[in-house]
Structure 1
Amino acid sequence: AFFAYSTNYLIDLANAVIVDVEATTAIRPAEVTAQRTMIDRTQERFGIWPQRLAADTGYGDAANIAWLVHERGIEPHIPIFDHARRRTGSFQRDEFRYDQQHDLYVCPGSKELLPRRRNFAALRGDVDQDGFIRYRASKHDCDACALKPQCCPGQPNRIVSRSIHEGARDLARDLAKTDAYVTSRRERKKVEMLFAHLKRILKLDRLRLRGPNGAKDEFLLAATAQNLRKLAKLIPMPVAPALE
Structure 2
Amino acid sequence: MERFLLSNVTFIQYNMGQLFLPMDLEDLIPANHVVRIVNDTVERMDDELFFQYYPGGGRSSFHPKMLTKVLVYAYTQRIYSSRQIAKALRENIHFMWLSARQTPDFRTINRFRSERMKDIVEQVFAAVLELLIDEGYVKFEHYFLDGTKIEANANRYTFVWKKSTDRFQSRLQAQIRELLTEIEQANQQEQREYGERDLEELGKDQDQPITSEQLDTLVTSLEQQLSESPKNNPLRKAIRKIRKDYLPRCEKYEMQQATFQDRNSFSKTDPDATFMRMKEDHMKNGQLKPGYNVQVGTENQFIVGFSIHQRPTDTRCLIPHFEQMWERFGILPQSVIADAGYGSEENYSWLAHEEIEAFVKFNTYYQEQTKRFQNDISRFENWIYDAERDEYICAGNQRLTFRYERTVKTEAGYSSKKRYYQCDACGTCPLKNQCTKSKNNRQIGVSVTLQEHKQRARANLTSKRGRKLSVQRMVEVESVFGQIKGNRGFRRFLLRGIPKVTIEMGLVSVAHNLLKVAASLA
Query: Equivalent residue for 2:504?
Result: 218
**Structure 2 residue aligned with 1:109, among 371, 374, 396?**
396
1:229 maps onto 2:515 in alignment: yes
1:64 CA displacement: 0.6
Report the equivalent of 2:429. 145
Match among 24, 27, 33 for residue 319 of structure 2: 33
Q: Which residue of 1 aligns with 2:379?
A: 92
Return closer, same or farther for 1:93/1:40 CA change in 2, 3 Å cut-off.
farther
Deviation at 1:90, TM superposition (A): 4.1
Native 8 Å contact 1:111 1:137 kept in 2: no
- Report matched runs for 1:176-187 at 5 Å: 176-187=461-472
1:9-34 CA deviation, whole Å, 9 max, x = no partner?
Answer: 1212xx22211111112422552233
**Aligned-pair distance for 1:177?**
2.1
Residues 155 and 187 of structure 1, relative CA distance in 2, 3 Å threshold = farther
Question: 1:22 & 1:205 partners in 2: Cα distance?
Answer: 16
Deviation for aligned residue 1:191: 0.4
Give the one of 385, 408, 411 matched to 1:128: 408
Separation in 2, partners of 1:63, 1:30: 9
CA deviations on 1:174-233 (whole Å, 9 max, x unpaired) are 223223222222221310111121112222211111100011000010000011111223
The more displaced of 21-30 and 129-138 is 129-138
Contact 2:461/2:470 (CA < 8 Å) preserved in 1?
no
- Checking the alignment, whether the CA contact within 8 Å between 1:57 and 1:78 is kept in structure 2 is yes
**1:196 counterpart residue number:** 482
Question: Which residue is equivalent to 2:457?
Answer: 172
> How far apart, CA to CA, are the structure 2 residues paired with 1:224 and 1:39?
16
CA contact (8 A) 2:318 2:342 kept: yes
Aligned in 2, Cα 1:38/1:56: closer, same or farther, shift over 3 Å?
farther
Q: Write out per-residue CA displacement over residues 77-127 of structure 1, whole angstroms, 9 at most, x where no aligned residue.
A: 22212499998954212112234444332223333323316xxxxxxx523
Supply the distance in 2 between the matched residues of 1:39 and 1:157 (Cα, whole angstroms): 48
- Report how far residue 39 of structure 1 moved: 5.5
Q: Work out whether residues 343 and 361 of structure 2, in 8 Å CA contact, stay in contact via their aligned partners in 1.
A: yes
Structure 1 counterpart SS, 2:406 = coil
Q: Indicate conservation of the 8 Å contact 2:377/2:395, yes or no.
A: no
Amino acid of the residue matched to residue 126 of structure 1? Answer: R
Partner in structure 1 of residue 219 of structure 2: none
Report what 1:62 is aligned to: 345
Structure 2 CA distance for aligned equivalents of residues 30 and 142 of structure 1: 38
Q: Secondary structure at the match of 2:407?
A: coil
Map of 1:240 onto structure 2: none
Return the match for 2:363 from 72, 75, 81: 81
Work out the CA distance in 1 between the residues paired with 2:514 and 2:293: 21
Aligned-partner residue type, residue 108 of structure 1: A
Are the counterparts in 2 of residues 8 and 34 from structure 1 also a CA contact under 8 Å? Answer: no
Match status 1:157 vs 2:441: yes
C-alpha spacing 1:174/1:159, structure 2 compared with 1 (3 Å): farther
8 Å contact kept, 1:20–1:38: no
2: distance between equivalents of 1:205 and 1:158? 49
- The answer to whether the 8 A contact 1:10-1:38 is kept is no
SS at match of 1:184: helix
Check conservation: 1:91, 1:151, Cα contact below 8 A: yes
Q: How many residue pairs are counted as aligned between the two chains?
A: 222
Which structure has the larger Rg over C-alpha atoms?
2
Contact map agreement 2:337 2:473 (CA 8 A) in 1: yes
Identity of aligned residues (%): 23
Return the letter of the residue paired with 2:397.
Answer: S
Measure, in 1, the Cα distance between the counterparts of 2:480 and 2:377: 42
Using the alignment, how far apart are the partners of 1:68 and 1:20 within structure 2? 17
RMSD between aligned alpha carbons? Answer: 3.0
TM-score w.r.t. length of structure 1: 0.77
SS at match of 2:361: coil
Q: Could you tell me which amino acid in structure 1 is paired with residue 295 of structure 2?
A: N
Q: In structure 1, how many angstroms separate the alpha carbons of the residues matched to 2:311 and 2:322?
A: 16
Query: Which residue of the other structure, out of 41, 45, 53, is the alignment partner of 2:336?
Result: 53
> Normalising to structure 2: TM-score of the pair?
0.38
Deviation at 1:145, TM superposition (A): 2.2
- Is the 2:391–2:401 contact (alpha carbons within 8 Å) kept by the matching residues of 1? yes
> Take 2:497 and 2:328, find their aligned partners in 1: how far apart are those partners?
24
Cross-structure match for 1:120: none
| Residues 150-159 or 18-27, more deviating | 150-159
Name the amino acid aligned to 1:156: N
Q: 1:104 to 1:133 in 2, by over 3 A?
A: farther
> 1:115, 1:126 within 8 Å by CA — same for their partners in 2?
no
Unaligned runs of at least 5 residues, structure 1: 118-124, 238-244
